[in-house]
Amino acid sequence: MDDRFNTASGWVLFSGIVALAASIGAGMYFHADSYEYPEDKDFGYFVEAEEEDGGANAGPDLGTLLASADAAAGERVFAKCTACHTIDQGGANGIGPNLYGVMGAAIGSHAPGFAYSSALSGHGGEWTWENMDAWLTSPRSFANGTKMSFAGLSKAEDRANLMEFLSTYGGAPAKPEPAAPAAEEGAEGVAVAGEEPSEAEAAGAMGADEPVASANAAGDNEGATKVD
């Protein structure tokens, strides 16, 4: 009895070892543990999707947003900045520079005595509406290496309102013009694809399609040409 049990147990154990070895071997052969595919096989195309930019390119253009920007709403947004910045004329620099008159000033040098990062002081240019909008969207993307730790404002309306508020302290350059609306109607008298033609256009089209009587056509049988 014991010999038979031991023999059966041995065969079961042996079968398990063989099955495990077969599984390991099959996995190694077919690359079950990796995502690599044989180079000579066509498994379709891998499409790399572009990363979303948080809607930076969506919605109204900057000029349109600034045309309706609200300085009072921008003052509420600026509350997030008061831990590091002052804005009153003659205000002291804090962790960040005083922001009076920043709109239109040279980037990285408008506040005397403040130690700007080289990433910002060496950026060049002025704080135009476009540059300030890019800076407020992502300071690190605008000037890689900046000391400013603020992540940025994702809402375009908040940025426009904040810039409008900043402009009330020391002025600002001229705002960009709103983008012209896309043309929705064709020229007068010209049908646009997808639109129903006017009555005049329809009448003209019908007249052009009407058959014209030939010079040899007759009104009765006497003038008809006989064909044998």
pLDDT in tens, 55-69: 445 689 999 999 999
Is residue 67 assigned to a domain? yes
Sorting pLDDT into bands at 50, 70 and 90, what band is 195? low
Q: Domain total for the chain?
A: 1
pLDDT tens readout for residues 104-162: 999 999 999 999 999 999 999 999 999 999 999 999 999 999 999 899 999 999 999 99
Q: Is residue 137 part of a domain?
A: yes
Mean pLDDT rounded to a whole number for the chain: 76
The domain that contains 146 carries what CATH number? Answer: 1.10.760.10
Phi/psi at 126 (5° precision): -125, 165
Is 30 within the bounds of a domain? no
pLDDT digits (tens, 9 = 90+) for 71-89: 999 999 999 999 999 999 9
**pTM score:** 0.57
**Whole domain around residue 157: which residue ranges?**
62-167
Integer Cα distance of 77 and 73 in angstroms: 7
Interatomic CA distance for residues 88 and 211, integer angstroms:
82
Cβ atoms 65, 156 nearer than 8 A: yes
Cβ atoms of 142 and 125 closer than 8 Å = no
Instruction: Kindly state whether residue 111 falls inside one of the protein's structural domains.
Output: yes
Q: Where does the pLDDT of residue 179 fall: very low under 50, low under 70, confident under 90, or very high at 90 and above?
A: very high
Number of other residues whose CB lies within 10 A of the CB of residue 155: 13
Residue 209 lies in a domain: no
pLDDT at res. 76 = 97
The DSSP output letter for 126 is B
Domain membership flag for residue 18: no
Rounded (5°) CA angle 170-103-148 = 120
Distance between CA atoms of 161 and 150, rounded to whole angstroms? 18
Give domain status of residue 74, yes or no.
Answer: yes
Residue scoring higher pLDDT (200 or 4): 4
Cβ 108 vs Cβ 116: under 8 Å: yes
pLDDT for position 12: 72
Q: Is residue 24 part of a domain?
A: no
Q: Is 61 exposed, middle or buried (0-12, 13-18, 19+ CB in 10 A)?
A: middle
